[in-house]
Amino acid sequence: MLEDPTIYVINKMSEVLSELRVEVERYNIFEDKNAIATLPSTLKGVDGVILATTVEWFGIGGYMQQFLDMCWLYADKQELSHVYMLPVVMATTYGERDAELSLVKAWETLGGIPITGLVAYVENLDEFEKNESYRRIIEKKTETLYRTIHQKTESLPTSNLAVKTSILKTRTIELTPQESEQLSKFVSDETYVKQQKEDIEELSAMFKQMLWTGEEEENSPDVNEEEAIEDVRLSRDKVESPASDRYISAFESHFHPETDFSASYAIIITDEDRILHVEAIGDKFKAFYAATEEADVTLRTTTRSLDDIIQGKNTFQRGFMAGEISVKGKIKTLRMLDVIFPFQ
């Protein structure tokens, strides 16, 4: 920022645009570096954008490159196709033309409309600011930008757009602009990203535990016929009993409290259109039915899957991994459900 010629140029251009009654909104990427992923959403509904950078060593700055990357991933390409872009590149070393070309090529690949930029090599900032000829050039360039956007000047097609259409792909999963914008907010949320990493670690540990348990089950003896018949009889008796008594009683009888652990679970039973709430607060237990889904962990399953769990044929973790149970909440809290209610 110290003695940055780009800031002087941007300030002058903002003054001219304000005099022309143009609404100008400025974003300093170096200040919003933690939210760069959400900046492409600010391009919605704009007529033009000025991308300004200073070449201090080699090429455009890292923050500007990140912003262009986020535009490629999350920006609404249909919106960008109508947005004019004027590059402003001031250099304190060699390379202002190359940097301008990089911005122009990037914007063309994104589908936008680039305008001839404002570039300069600035050796002495004081002399540059005091030069009236330079000031008039900046003002004229700003007026040209205004006229180009106001007249909706068209440009000839370029090969960059053809390459984007036929070769370059943004992602393997096509997302709507709304989904892309929501995803960009998640990416910029450090807390969310940290939680996702923790969930991945929990899932990895869960997979290892499942593989180890699976080997044990393969080596275990088969259940004899009499035990199987008894299981069927018990299962039939439980199905015939009221659902509320069966599930609440099962959780209550298998409750094993954990020290310093508290959590609430909302189990949505889809085929019965009811929500079973299970709360464990230290050594205290509570189970009831309610219409709300608010809980630390929300599970969505069927009576069949839930019956298999309370009969010890399955666990909540295995049901989740097999796709029989969908979960919203922390994976670690879900794993504790099998610990405090060991139906097996």
Contacts of 304 (CB under 8 A, 6+ apart): none
Q: Is the pTM of this model over 0.85?
A: no
DSSP per residue, 229-258 = HHHHHHHHHHHHS-HHHHHHHHHHHT----
pLDDT of 134 reads: 95
Q: What is the pLDDT of residue 335?
A: 84
Q: Give Cα separations from 68 to 32, 95, 110 (angstroms).
A: 14, 19, 9
DSSP secondary structure letter of residue 224? P
In order of start, what are the domains of the chain with their CATH numbers? 5-187 (3.40.50.360), 238-340 (3.30.1050.10)
Mean pLDDT by 10 residues, the chain (344 residues): 83 94 91 82 91 90 90 87 94 92 92 92 91 95 93 82 61 60 63 69 65 51 47 40 68 87 90 90 88 88 91 88 85 86 85
* pLDDT value at residue 232: 39
pLDDT score of 145: 93
CA nearest neighbour of 118 among 144, 93, 92, 94: 144
Strand partners, 328: 298
Residue 117 per-residue DSSP state:
-
pLDDT at position 330: 82
Give the C-alpha separation, 342 to 344, whole Å.
5
DSSP type of residue 93: S
Supply 203's token pair. 């899932």
Quick one: pLDDT at residue 259?
Answer: 81
